Amino acid sequence: MHILVTGGAGFIGSNLVDALMEQGHGVTVIDNLSVGKVSNIEHHLESDRFHFVNDSILNVSTLERLIRQADLIYHLAAVVGVKYVVEDPLTAIITNVRGTENVLELAFKYWVRTVIASSSEIYGKSTDVPLREDSDRLLGPTTVGRWSYSDAKAIDEYFALAYAKKGLPVTVVRYFNAYGPRLDPRGYGSVIARFIAQALRGEPLTVYDDGQQTRCFTYIADAIEGTVLAATVKEAVGRIFNIGAKRETTIIELAQLIRQLTRSTSEIVHIPYSSAYGLHFEETRRRVPDVTRAREVLGFEAQTPLEEGLRRTVEWFRGERVKNEFNQTQCIL
C-alpha cells in the first residue's frame, strides 16, 4: 500500500510515518516545514519506499499528483499550537480550512480512503466532562483569537462528514494532548515540552494561572495506534473518534512530576496567561475525553502510564540536548 501523510515531518506525523514504514508500506510525506522538521524524517530519506515533498497542501497541483498515486491518506498538515494560532490567526485559518478542503476534494475525486486529524480544541471551554464525540461545543467570542483554531477544525469535520455522506470513506480523529519524542517546545503540546526544557536547563517551570487546569495527556505511541486503527477498521468510516488517555492531570501536578523525573531543582512559578498570549485570552479548565466509542468500535484504549511516557520523553530531550551541544562544539572546533 502507498500512503500519503500530509504534515508528515511534524510531531504526530513523523511518528506515524515511523509506524507505517515499520509495517512495510510505501510512504510519501508532503510538508512545507513551517512547523515540521526534516530531522524528524531524515532517517527515512535513503529508503526507496519513502518520498519527501517540501511543499504546501495549498498547492493544489502538487497535492493532486500525490493523492492520485495514494491508496490511503492521513491528513495531519495544519497550523497547530495555541501560540501560533494567536500570533497569526489568518495563516492558521487559511491553512487549516482551505488545506483540508483541498485534500478532501481530491480524495473524493480519486476515491482515496482518508483520515482527518482534528483536535480536542473542538470542544472549546466546555467542562461537561467526559467529552463525547457528540458533546456540545462551547466557545468564546470571535474577538478571542484562540477559538479560531477550534472553529477551523470544526469546519474541517463538517467537510469530512459532508464528503462521507457522498460516500467517501473518511474518518476523523480528535487528539487529546499527545506528547512524546519530537515534541516541539514552541508548538503542539508545548506544556510538556516547555516544562522538560525548562527543568533540564535549571530554569523556573512557568505554570499559567493557578495550575489547576486539567488535561488527559496521551503518549504518542498510543495516539498512533488509534490513528492507524481508524484507517483500517471498516466500521470507522464516516465517524469521529476521541483519541486520548483517561487519566486527568492538573498542570501543577504535571510540573511537579517532570521536575521529579528530571531530578531538577527548578522552582515552579505561576504567571498570568497574558504574559504569553496577551490580554483577553481564554483557557479551558478541564478537558477529559469519553473514549467509549474508540474502545468499542476501534478496539483502542491508551495504555501508556503518564509516568512512563514522560520518562521516555525526558530521555529523548536529554539525547537531543547532548546532540545539539556536540554539534555546537563541532562548529566551534
Any idea which of 126-130, 265-269, 300-304 has the lowest mean pLDDT? Answer: 126-130
The torsion of the CA quartet 325, 183, 83, 160, rounded to 10 degrees, works out to 150
Average pLDDT for 170-174: 99
Q: How far apart are the first and last CA of the chain?
A: 46
Q: What is the pTM of this model?
A: 0.93
Average of pLDDT values for 263-288?
Answer: 83
- Does some domain include residue 269? no
Inter-residue contact 65 to 106 (CB < 8 Å): no
What is d(CA 292, CA 298) in angstroms, rounded to the nearest whole number? 10
pLDDT of residue 120: 96
Query: CA-CA distance, 200 to 316, in Å (whole number)?
Result: 12
**CA-to-CA distance for 104 and 111, rounded, in angstroms?**
10
132: in domain: yes
pLDDT class of 146 with cuts at 50, 70, 90: confident
Rounded-to-integer distance, Cα 115 and Cα 104, Å: 10
User: Is 190 inside a domain boundary?
Assistant: no
Give the distance from CA 301 to its chain's centroid: 18
| SS3 annotation, the chain | CEEEEECCCCHHHHHHHHHHHHCCCEEEEECCCCCCCHHHCHHHCCCCCEEEECCCCCCHHHHHHHHHCCCEEEECCCCCCHHHHHHCHHHHHHHHHHHHHHHHHHHHHHCCEEEEEEEHHHHECCCCCCECCCCCCECCCCCCCCHHHHHHHHHHHHHHHHHHHCCCCEEEEEECCEECCCCCCCCCCHHHHHHHHHHHHCCCEEEECCCCCEECCEEHHHHHHHHHHHHHCHHHCCCEEEECCCCCEEHHHHHHHHHHHCCCCCCEEEECCHHHHCCCCCCCCECCECCHHHHHHHCCCCCCCHHHHHHHHHHHHHHHHHHHHHHHHHHHC
Percent with pLDDT over 90 in the chain:
84
Q: Do the domain assignments include residue 255?
A: no
**Cα–Cα dist 228/13, whole Å:** 12
Residues of the chain with pLDDT > 70, as a percent, come to 93
Q: Tell me whether residue 200 is in a domain.
A: no
C-alpha cell at 220: 504518542
Judge whether residue 152 has pLDDT over 50.
yes
Instruction: Please give the average per-residue pLDDT across 66-94, as a whole number.
Output: 90
Q: Is the pLDDT of residue 327 over 70?
A: no
pLDDT classification of 328: cutoffs 50, 70, 90:
very low
- Domain boundaries, position 131: 2-178+219-246+286-303
Number of domains, the chain: 1
Instruction: Tell me: pLDDT of 186 over 70.
Output: no
Supply the mean pLDDT for the chain: 93
Is residue 110 annotated as a catalytic residue, yes or no?
no
Peptide bond before residue 169 is cis, with ω within 30 degrees of 0: no
State mean pLDDT over 2-7: 99
What per-residue confidence (pLDDT) applies to 258?
98
* pLDDT category of residue 279 using cuts at 50, 70 and 90: low
Average pLDDT over residues 43-64: 98
Tens of pLDDT, residue by residue over 190-240, are 899 999 999 999 999 999 999 999 999 999 999 999 999 999 999 999 999
Position 198 in a domain: no
What CATH code is carried by the domain that includes residue 110? 3.40.50.720
Catalytic residue among 74, 149, 163, 175: 149
